[in-house]
Copies of this chain bind each other. A is one copy, B any other.
Amino acid sequence: MTLSQIFASRASRMQASEIRELLKLLDRPGLISFAGGIPDPALFPASEFATAFANGLSPDTQAQALQYSVSEGYLPLRQWIVGEMAKIGVPCSADNILITSGSQQALDYLGKVFLSPGDTALVGWPTYLGALAAFNAYEPRYDQLTANGNRKAESYAEEAENAGGQVKFAYLSADFANPTGETLDQRGRESLLDLTESLGCALIEDAAYQSLRYDGEQVPPLLSLEIARKGDIEACRTIYCGTFSKTLSPGLRVGWVVAAKPVISKLVLLKQAADLHSPTLNQMAMHEVAEEIFDGHVETLRDAYRQRRDAMLAALDQYMPANVSWTRPEGGMFIWVTLPTEMDGAELLAQSLESIGVAFVPGRAFFADGSGGNTIRLSFSCSDESEIRTGIEKLGGLLREV
């Protein structure tokens, strides 16, 4: 008997993802990659971090920086986040905030705290595949979240009960979502709040890309709309997941959760048992850099990524055959491409890597039901405009051939 044979049943739902395997390709020389949903490292505020880490390790704070610390997270950083949340219509206190090791960890913890095997999670078809990976460990059933109000709460609740559980939460990224790039309008958000209220479930708002808007009007976050309805975060079902990964640095692994205190208190206990706390020094450095440059740095990112988005949309307009369509995101890092029904994104990727050296992510992995074979995700965040133009021209050429 090997140890693999005695793994818990949940382990069978932990499988290698396509994105992970693709990340290994990014180093291949000459490859044009629209695959990774990662920020451009040339835009990291590296010298500011160098100063902040040096300050954190100065004689006054080095003992705190290197020692064990509380599970809630570094208080000045939580207080800074309180200020940022207030700016987007979310009045709250530091007790409403938990620091996590990136928002990926928040998704894992939220799956852990809400999902018993057989419970239902509502997710978009497609949705962020890392969310599916995080939730899978807790063996949920998925149902398709539609934010247009077309499907009634009773229908969701009944099917969840038939499957032996209940709807525990709806999950979505409402702004420039990974993978579609799409934004849910205010009417859709209100409809979603109605739905989760009727279901008595939580609503997980993944705000990973929220501050990366390139044009158009900001739509209020789901949490701010719910607070506007109810007057107080303590009465809210929305759980907001933020991160510095798309703005300051992903590698330092600092994100946060904002929610009513009973949810945060339970997540703090969960984090204490799971990894004690996120690294103290990283939180101190993130706080210093955020306090100094956040708004200006985000403006720099917006200017850079806006140009790349524009370049990619222009190239798609110019080079794609007529039977291919795509989204026009107002922010974020992704454009979602729909190929003719009979085509397969994964097969296209294999051909593309072999014949033209262009990488992207096949869309099927983002669908909890395994559909979406004729979709692909393009990221414009890590390529310059000339690469974007060249890569899309090649991809358009390949699509005309196959």
The answer to whether A50 and B41 have CB atoms under 8 Å apart is: no
The answer to whether B253 and A275 have CB atoms under 8 Å apart is: yes
CB contacts under 8 Å to B, within A289-303, are: none
Contacts of A1 in B (CB 8 A): 200
Q: How many residues of A contact B (CB 8 A)?
A: 88
Over the window 275-293 of chain A, the binary record of Cβ atoms lying under 8 Å from chain B Cβ atoms (1 yes, 0 no) is: 1111111100000000000
A33–chain B nearest beta-carbon distance, Å: 13
Closest B residue to A203 by CB, please name it: B3
Closest B residue to A48 by CB, please name it: B57
A171–chain B nearest beta-carbon distance, Å: 14
Task: Please tell me which one of the listed residues B252, B275, B277 contacts residue A108 in the complex, with CB atoms under 8 A apart.
Answer: B275
The answer to whether B38 and A62 have CB atoms under 8 Å apart is: no
CB contacts under 8 Å to B, within A335-365, are: none
CB contacts under 8 Å to B, within A79-136, are: 100-102, 104-105, 108, 112-116, 119, 130, 133-134, 136
A149 sits at the interface (CB 8 A): no
The answer to whether B6 and A200 have CB atoms under 8 Å apart is: yes
Cα distance A245–B276 in the bound complex, in angstroms: 12
A312 sits at the interface (CB 8 A): no
A230–chain B nearest beta-carbon distance, Å: 13
Cα distance A38–B277 in the bound complex, in angstroms: 14
The answer to whether A275 and B101 have CB atoms under 8 Å apart is: yes
Over the window 247-258 of chain A, the binary record of Cβ atoms lying under 8 Å from chain B Cβ atoms (1 yes, 0 no) is: 001111100000
Cα distance A102–B58 in the bound complex, in angstroms: 23
Closest B residue to A277 by CB, please name it: B253
Contacts of A225 in B (CB 8 A): none
Closest B residue to A41 by CB, please name it: B63
The answer to whether A50 and B42 have CB atoms under 8 Å apart is: no
Cα distance A69–B20 in the bound complex, in angstroms: 10
Known: A251-B281, A252-B281. A273 touches B108 (CB 8 A): yes
A139–chain B nearest beta-carbon distance, Å: 10
Contacts of A53 in B (CB 8 A): 53-54, 57, 281
Closest B residue to A237 by CB, please name it: B3
Closest B residue to A131 by CB, please name it: B273
A286–chain B nearest beta-carbon distance, Å: 11
Known: A4-B266, A14-B270. A102 touches B63 (CB 8 A): no
CB contacts under 8 Å to B, within A16-69, are: 16-17, 20, 23, 36, 38-39, 41-42, 44, 46, 49-50, 53-54, 57-59, 62-69
Give the 6 A-B CB pairs with smallest separation, nearest first.
A41-B63, A133-B273, A46-B62, A251-B280, A66-B249, A50-B57
5 contacts between A and B (CB under 8 A): A11-B113, A50-B54, A134-B273, A252-B279, A279-B279
Q: A6-B114, A14-B270, A253-B279 are in contact. List 17 more A-B contacts (CB 8 A).
A: A2-B260, A3-B263, A9-B116, A14-B273, A23-B70, A44-B66, A49-B62, A50-B57, A64-B251, A101-B275, A102-B276, A104-B273, A130-B276, A136-B273, A253-B276, A253-B277, A253-B278
